[in-house]
């Protein structure tokens, strides 16, 4: 995470009445380093050495707060909530391919809504979500599975 991105997150949190604690900073940095979706349990496992008394509930509350502030984005994968650092800093709207095994993502550089909107002439679209799931190259090779 760059200094500018960190400062942007701090501004967002302060604007919404939250302090930037060491634990929140560590959570944000973890997500910024990973180019994949993580579960709250994975975050706890990564943070336990530095913060041995950190509870799962505290991590989950902080992750949800960051998702509500659009610092993290959330998806449901295999019946569990997964989170990743929001791509809003990239500067353009896009979607993701998500590996169902490791959670890695790959940006899809276009939005299918451009085509779908033409089919919904006269309708008012208030939002959308589009995700593609499968196995990434590395997970296919490690398990011998080809899709």
**Nearest Cα residue to 30 out of 6, 14, 65:** 6
Calculate the average pLDDT of the chain.
85
Same domain? 23 vs 62: yes
For residue 89, the model assigns a pLDDT of 52
Same domain? 55 vs 82: yes
pLDDT per residue as tens digits for the range 5-61: 777 888 899 999 999 888 998 898 888 888 788 999 999 999 998 999 999 999 999
Same domain? 71 vs 119: no
Same domain? 44 vs 84: yes
Supply the range of the domain harboring residue 55. 3-88
Same domain? 83 vs 105: no
pLDDT per residue as tens digits for the range 111-122: 888 788 888 888
The answer to whether the CB of 97 falls within 8 A of the CB of 105 is: yes
């Amino acid at each position: 995470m760059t200094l500018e991105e960190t400062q942007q997150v701090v501004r967002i949190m302060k604007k919404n009445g939250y302090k930037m604690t060491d634990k929140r900073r560590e959570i944000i940095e973890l997500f910024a380093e990973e180019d994949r979706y993580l579960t709250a349990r994975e975050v706890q496992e990564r943070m336990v050495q530095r913060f041995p008394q950190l509870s799962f509930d505290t991590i989950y509350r902080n992750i949800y707060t960051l998702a509500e502030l659009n610092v993290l984005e959330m998806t449901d994968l295999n019946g569990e909530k997964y989170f990743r650092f929001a791509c809003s800093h990239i500067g353009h709207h896009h979607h993701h391919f998500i590996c169902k095994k490791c959670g890695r993502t790959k940006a899809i550089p276009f939005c299918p809504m451009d085509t779908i909107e033409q089919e919904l002439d006269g309708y008012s679209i208030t939002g959308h979500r589009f995700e593609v799931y499968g196995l990434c190259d590395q997970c296919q090779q490690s398990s011998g599975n080809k899709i």
